[in-house]
Structure 1
């Protein structure tokens, strides 16, 4: 890596960075309602976003520094195994088409701001609601950390700060700068800031990937040359393990692991608090349904971005540098191949692509704390304006938590930040998705299943680490987040579901109190304004055609 400052690239980067920062502060006045101190306004943008704003917001929310840095870096380090991110985004959209409109409808009807609000209303259980809220907050912190790692990687390559510096302040200065900017405009403008900036972010990313997929192969001798050089590089054995570095095609013995990783990631994607926040900001049920049909366009972009990992290998990025950080591979490739001015544009795309989701994530985590911990457990009489003030403060605290993740954990395999969050958030699937379709599960059984899945998943994630493995897991396929039977998150989910099912049967036989369901079946299937489906009596649990627990 070149330690000299790339003045032209840095100048272009700063220009775009300042431009979106100004946009972030100005967004406070965009579509501003009279009651600006209500949490719906700050935390959900007033629930007024239409199809295109929601599409850009969800795209900015889901396609992040993880997309531009961590996924290509995984392919750079391990080969085809890193492509699991492409099929999982394809699988995700048919799945979420089934449950996201239902979540939007019931949330709009009852004024739910978070998924934990729904859990409290559906199961009548504050304990279960708090468990889901804590899971969302904890799972979000490493995801925010991943965004900050992306910004740090860009600034390192431009010669600013420097990951090799012995001065901790200089070394981590990029993270501190990112924290300050992100904290300031998120506190000021709430969800409107990332919604507005997302237009710039997506435009830059599409421009950069369109140029990269044509220009870089031209500079490197075409795709045939890229794959040839990559195959040679992957065949070299890792001295620490004695196994090849990676492969262009996933080996047969790794295909089950690859499949479980893709499926588990797909199941978790839209249950993250930031995904739920973006969904609930839509103004109608049809907005959500339309978005699940057009968001797969981003999967095409992700597939092209993933190819950059092979290009970085072919370009020899980091070759021969002991301890080279793979997260620098794509920014370094851009600096090596692009003219300085366009490298600056590419760096800005990565940097802004990190700021947008980090802002949404911190808002979502703050909403969870405010609504489901502060209001439910500490101050039930909190006013809407008080909720908003608390949420703003907590959004700053969450970013500090993300900084702790970055400063205390190994950043050389940044995809671990996302995979660890995925292991945790998967444990909310039986409660949230199950609750959207049936009231059969018992609240205590779901809580016990959640605890079992969280304990097992966390233990296995850390248990897989070793001196020769810089990621959570790792088998012959070099796929992070795996043990011998597949993705740890999926194994924990199966354990979670098994516990919930068995205990539900037992608790129903014992006639344990199942809690009060404040929702009705019509809440899940209609627009708020529509009266096409007659509403059952207040408190009637369940959804048509599905079993109900004893005592519900």
Structure 2
């Protein structure tokens, strides 16, 4: 443990802790309502939203996992870069429509919109449960990111499990406390510090580290030689399926895997409830469009960050663990190559980068439970104050569950379950995004299509094996009837759409009641200031009533 690195890390962590609690007084308002506690008053402008949404999407695990994938020699590891480029034109089109209808009716969650659009509490419950299910392991992985940094930095004792994980307990307690007190305002304020630190660390890294390692040409050459040597030394194990080959560029057999991972992940990203929560907190439709145009700056950052995986290979970074844990590659690279004070800045950037998305994720999951389970099935007459209080408590429960998840299960199991997050959450796409443009889909068809996609995707993912895992061994599986590997979420989504379309035709021909649509055409284009904004209308009241 370096005293200088630890001192810098602790100082920056304390700064954001103070900011998290101070956020309760920022834009002072009554936090005893979901609009204020869970959506920041729906008043964030372009500048704040850029940091908030960026901090929400680009998590600590992203900053560890993407370069770790390349460090481990995964040929499709770079898919994260094109996927974050593809996603922004998509959200430019549909998120302003979701914002408008949500503000017109006071919707807090995507499940609120689904219930109003399809007149189906069952479908809203399915969307809510899917959102919570997909978010839970995502929150756990933010804690895994913090745990990785603490491990490399030398925090925690040895032998006694409590002393070993005490720093993680402290970080968890701080996160839980200021999320409870300040709501969405806390991650919105902290996101400024987090993003500045990340940008500084990555830009310095991609400029400084190559000067220490002979330039980028040498880094790519050394990485290629390292992967070639590994493949040669392990040729028999690779042929027997006991090890995976390493490569810098996907071979032709993995082109569809690369493409489907990029497209499927892009379609899924803004189905996550924490992504939608950040969007619904904005002031107007223009803020969303401007952010969709500017957020690709983070994709540039992600591309630079991914290259650190190759830098770690060229630098000869060795990571701890049995088998070695590639998630430690970037923190270990910082420790090996940076001066201690800047290594401390790097540790803080990654750890603080976990706090912002973890807070938003827990808030989004809590809002789903409160609005679409607690209020819908237990307390339909719950007051705004009661809703806010339940959400605060549930946000703590969600974080406790994530902490238990991290401590009780292996990291590899947590990572594998997170792979299911994209498979699960993409199955809500027809209900949410297609529902923003047409009401042709029958509500029961959408529900059955969702169930088919969920069942097929989960079963297929369970059956995937890898050299180190018997089940949930990765996100790819052979497309039915072929040997071509594709992203499991994409095939499950295709099944979902086919079932939904066919059943819609059948159910409409049978004249089965499609339910009453509580929205009207101009709800999807209305801007702030139009009739029936946010808190003035109950989410269960039709705009045309």
TM-score range, shorter chain: over 0.9
**2:200 is the alignment partner of 1:207:** yes
Displacement after TM superposition at 1:466 (Å): 5.0
**2:103 is the alignment partner of 1:135:** no
- Give the secondary structure class of the aligned counterpart of 2:411: coil
Unmatched runs of 5 consecutive residues or more in structure 2: 480-485, 532-540
Displacement after TM superposition at 1:426 (Å): 0.5
Q: TM-score, normalised by structure 2?
A: 0.92
Displacement after TM superposition at 1:405 (Å): 3.1
Number of residues paired by the alignment?
522
- Give the secondary structure class of the aligned counterpart of 2:248: coil
Judge conservation of contact 2:463–2:471 (CA < 8 Å) in 1: no
Q: TM-score, normalised by structure 1?
A: 0.91
Displacement after TM superposition at 1:90 (Å): 0.3
Q: Which of the residues 210, 216, 219 maps onto 1:223?
A: 216
Partner residue, 1:338 = 338
Unmatched runs of 5 consecutive residues or more in structure 1: 474-479, 532-537, 542-552
Separation (CA, whole Å) in 2 of partners of 1:215 and 1:82: 24
Partner residue, 1:285 = 285
For residues 197 and 138 of structure 1, do their structure 2 counterparts lie closer, same or farther at Cα, with a shift above 3 Å needed?
same
Between stretches 480-489 and 278-287, larger displacement belongs to 480-489
Partner residue, 1:484 = 478
Task: Report matched runs for 1:31-42 at 5 Å.
Answer: 31-33=27-29, 35-42=30-37
Separation (CA, whole Å) in 1 of partners of 2:151 and 2:371: 39
Judge conservation of contact 1:326–1:412 (CA < 8 Å) in 2: no
Between stretches 418-427 and 440-449, larger displacement belongs to 418-427
Displacement after TM superposition at 1:472 (Å): 3.3
For residues 229 and 319 of structure 1, do their structure 2 counterparts lie closer, same or farther at Cα, with a shift above 3 Å needed?
farther
**2:179 is the alignment partner of 1:182:** no
Partner residue, 2:14 = 18
Judge conservation of contact 1:327–1:413 (CA < 8 Å) in 2: no
Judge conservation of contact 1:56–1:198 (CA < 8 Å) in 2: yes
Q: Which of the residues 17, 24, 33 maps onto 1:28?
A: 24
**2:190 is the alignment partner of 1:197:** yes
Task: Report matched runs for 1:51-130 at 5 Å.
Answer: 51-130=46-125
Judge conservation of contact 1:66–1:147 (CA < 8 Å) in 2: yes
Judge conservation of contact 1:154–1:328 (CA < 8 Å) in 2: yes
Judge conservation of contact 2:213–2:314 (CA < 8 Å) in 1: yes
1:5-58 deviation line (CA, Å, top 9, x unaligned)? 22211111110111101100000010022x331110000000010001011000
Displacement after TM superposition at 1:470 (Å): 7.7
Judge conservation of contact 2:92–2:289 (CA < 8 Å) in 1: yes
Separation (CA, whole Å) in 1 of partners of 2:47 and 2:461: 38
For residues 349 and 166 of structure 1, do their structure 2 counterparts lie closer, same or farther at Cα, with a shift above 3 Å needed?
same
Displacement after TM superposition at 1:322 (Å): 4.9
Separation (CA, whole Å) in 2 of partners of 1:265 and 1:518: 31
1:196-242 deviation line (CA, Å, top 9, x unaligned)? 00000000001001100011111111111111111122121357534
Partner residue, 1:544 = none
Displacement after TM superposition at 1:454 (Å): 1.0
**2:432 is the alignment partner of 1:432:** yes
Partner residue, 1:403 = 403
**2:450 is the alignment partner of 1:456:** no
Separation (CA, whole Å) in 1 of partners of 2:83 and 2:448: 28
Displacement after TM superposition at 1:291 (Å): 0.7
For residues 349 and 539 of structure 1, do their structure 2 counterparts lie closer, same or farther at Cα, with a shift above 3 Å needed?
closer
Displacement after TM superposition at 1:175 (Å): 3.1
User: Over aligned residue pairs, what C-alpha RMSD do you find?
Assistant: 1.9
For residues 250 and 414 of structure 1, do their structure 2 counterparts lie closer, same or farther at Cα, with a shift above 3 Å needed?
farther
Displacement after TM superposition at 1:539 (Å): 6.1
Partner residue, 2:238 = 241
Judge conservation of contact 2:72–2:246 (CA < 8 Å) in 1: yes
Displacement after TM superposition at 1:324 (Å): 1.3
Separation (CA, whole Å) in 1 of partners of 2:183 and 2:246: 43
Separation (CA, whole Å) in 2 of partners of 1:24 and 1:170: 26
Choose between structure 1 and 2 for higher RCO, CA contacts under 8 A separated by at least 6 residues. 2
Separation (CA, whole Å) in 1 of partners of 2:102 and 2:460: 35
- Give the secondary structure class of the aligned counterpart of 2:38: helix
Judge conservation of contact 2:9–2:347 (CA < 8 Å) in 1: yes
**2:361 is the alignment partner of 1:361:** yes
Separation (CA, whole Å) in 2 of partners of 1:202 and 1:259: 29
1:152-193 deviation line (CA, Å, top 9, x unaligned)? 01110011137xx55332343343222211111100100000
1:517-551 deviation line (CA, Å, top 9, x unaligned)? 110000001214258xxxxxx9699xxxxxxxxxx
Judge conservation of contact 2:33–2:385 (CA < 8 Å) in 1: yes
Judge conservation of contact 2:462–2:471 (CA < 8 Å) in 1: no
Displacement after TM superposition at 1:68 (Å): 1.0
Partner residue, 1:327 = 327
- Give the secondary structure class of the aligned counterpart of 1:241: helix
1:91-137 deviation line (CA, Å, top 9, x unaligned)? 00011111000000000000000000000100010000010000001
Task: Report matched runs for 1:244-263 at 5 Å.
Answer: 245-263=245-263
- Give the secondary structure class of the aligned counterpart of 1:49: coil
Displacement after TM superposition at 1:271 (Å): 1.1
